[in-house]
Amino acid sequence: MTRQEEKDLNFLVYCIEIYKQSHNLTGKEVIALFQNYGVTDYILRFAESLHTTGERYILADINDYLEARGAMLPN
């Protein structure tokens, strides 16, 4: 694994954790949601850009991405 891949993976874990905490979900629930709607790939593809933003923006961006794909967002 390259250093960049490691950084991107760490960022993905961070995004899963903040989403989990924000929506009172389990890690398994977030991973399933992210995999079902391609969020994992989206985060990895745009990790460098998303990494420069804040937690609130990341959460909003993930929710926008999910809504655009017809996902039912958790409360």
Instruction: Indicate the pLDDT class of residue 73, thresholds 50, 70 and 90.
Output: confident
Instruction: Quote the pTM value.
Output: 0.93
Instruction: Indicate the pLDDT class of residue 74, thresholds 50, 70 and 90.
Output: confident
> What gap in Å lies between CA 13 and CA 50, rounded to an integer?
13
At residue 25's C-alpha, the angle toward residues 20 and 27, to 5°, is 65
Instruction: State pLDDT tens for residues 51-70.
Output: 899 999 999 999 999 999 99
